[in-house]
């Protein structure tokens, strides 16, 4: 496994990339409003339909949870764009809509926005890991751990734990507790979001009952967060991904080599809000999600970014740690082979 583009990007792209992406950074009010109509409203309608379906069969409720989770993902993409200030031209409008969609996705707007901005500024930087990313150790760091801590790391990186157990826990528990050292606005964002969620849950419990709320909300959250965390994982954990120490780290390389181009079937691309064009999103978070595909197709220079498909992306599941010497992510089998060969 080698780096995908050892001499990439070329000097022409390095010189002109800001000019290339500039036309796509302007929000379109009509498209933004239409995306709310086609994302948030269907999510709310399906939620209500799931409440009704409990009278028929819980299997029907679970079946409806699948498209509801898809629309929750689209709602999260709107929330995500509001956090980048790219959904509307007005920052106030972004904040208002971001706060509302944050309640629907169990995420505090200002707190998440700050952490996600750090993620964009540090993605692929081995010396600035730890905020808004998937916990990833280097081979040297992993081998220096005690057996117990290696076991904990293995559990944390296990796909079942990450996507089935860890994903809903992040949104239900981790997002409810502000991290020490954050700013007052971000901390207050968490507490006000928690308070608003408690009020909503109490109101719904008094009208439809707490059991009904849990039976409807949890499967949506479990499915939506599992798929969402998978999308985030595969966008930065794939064969040939770019990681460097801070002194060598480069923004352009980090965007185009450190974030994947996840080429999904059209329906999945729609439900995921075009976030598969993650290389372009990291190149410019100011591009609204509905302009990402057009930016890719209208600029052949970006064709040099090799796409991941559903099939090839599954290989990412075995990757566990970063081998600095070989500049690649590896799994436990490769680590065992390196140890047997005395190379680590």
78-114 confidence digits (pLDDT tens): 999 999 999 999 999 999 999 999 999 999 999 999 9
Distance CA 157, CA 188 (A): 31
Rg (CA), the chain: 21
Q: Does the pLDDT value for residue 5 go beyond 70? A: no
151-160 confidence digits (pLDDT tens): 999 999 999 9
Are residues 302 and 282 in contact, defined by beta-carbon separation less than 8 angstroms? no
Q: What angle do CA 30, 33, 36 make, to 5 degrees?
A: 150
**CA distances (Å), origin 57, targets 50, 52, 62:** 10, 10, 9
Distance CA 5, CA 10 (A): 10
What percent of the chain stands above pLDDT 70? 97
User: Looking at residue 9, what is its pLDDT?
Assistant: 62
What percent of the chain stands above pLDDT 90? 88
Tell me the residue ranges of DSSP E strands in the chain: 137-138, 321-323, 328-330
* Average pLDDT score over residue span 167-193: 94
Q: Does the pLDDT value for residue 219 go beyond 80? A: yes
* Average pLDDT score over residue span 47-54: 98
Confidence band, pLDDT 50/70/90 cuts, at residue 2: very low
Are residues 104 and 66 in contact, defined by beta-carbon separation less than 8 angstroms? no
Q: Does the pLDDT value for residue 340 go beyond 80? A: yes
* Average pLDDT score over residue span 189-218: 97
DSSP helix, strand, coil percent of the chain (3-state; round to 5): 65, 5, 30
Greatest Cα pair distance, the chain, in angstroms, is 65
The residue to which tokens 């608003």 are assigned: 196
Task: Give me the sign of the Cα torsion angle 107, 108, 110, 111.
Answer: negative
């Amino acid at each position: 496994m080698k780096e995908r583009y050892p001499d990439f990007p070329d000097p022409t792209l390095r010189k002109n990339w800001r000019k290339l992406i500039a036309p796509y950074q302007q929000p379109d009010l009509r498209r933004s409003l239409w995306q709310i109509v086609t994302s948030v409203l269907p999510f709310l309608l399906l939620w209500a339909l799931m409440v009704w379906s409990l009278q028929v069969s819980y299997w029907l409720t679970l079946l409806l949870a699948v498209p509801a989770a898809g629309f929750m993902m689209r709602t999260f993409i709107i929330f995500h764009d509001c956090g980048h200030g790219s959904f509307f031209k007005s920052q106030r409008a972004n904040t208002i809509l971001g706060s509302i969609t944050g309640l629907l996705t169990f995420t505090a707007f200002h707190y998440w926005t700050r952490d996600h901005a750090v993620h964009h500024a540090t993605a692929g930087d081995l010396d600035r890991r730890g905020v808004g990313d998937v916990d990833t150790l280097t081979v040297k760091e992993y081998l220096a751990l005690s057996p117990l801590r290696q076991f904990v790391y293995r559990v944390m990186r296990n796909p079942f734990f990450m996507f089935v157990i860890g994903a809903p826990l992040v949104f239900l528990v981790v997002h409810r507790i502000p991290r020490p050292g954050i700013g007052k606005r971000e901390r207050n964002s968490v507490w006000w979001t928690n308070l608003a969620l408690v009020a909503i849950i109490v109101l719904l419990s008094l009208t439809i009952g707490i059991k009904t709320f849990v039976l409807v909300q949890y499967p949506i959250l479990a499915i939506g967060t599992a798929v969402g965390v998978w999308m985030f994982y595969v966008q930065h954990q794939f064969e040939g991904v770019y990681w460097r120490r801070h002194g060598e780290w480069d923004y352009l390389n980090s965007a185009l080599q450190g974030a994947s181009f996840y080429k999904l079937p059209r329906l999945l691309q729609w439900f995921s809000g075009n976030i598969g064009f993650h290389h372009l999103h990291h190149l410019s978070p100011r591009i609204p999600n509905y302009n990402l595909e057009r930016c890719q197709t209208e600029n052949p220079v970006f064709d040099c970014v090799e796409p991941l498909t559903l099939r090839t992306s599954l290989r990412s599941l075995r990757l566990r740690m970063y081998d600095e010497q070989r500049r690649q992510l590896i799994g436990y089998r490769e680590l065992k082979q390196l140890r047997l060969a005395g190379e680590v």
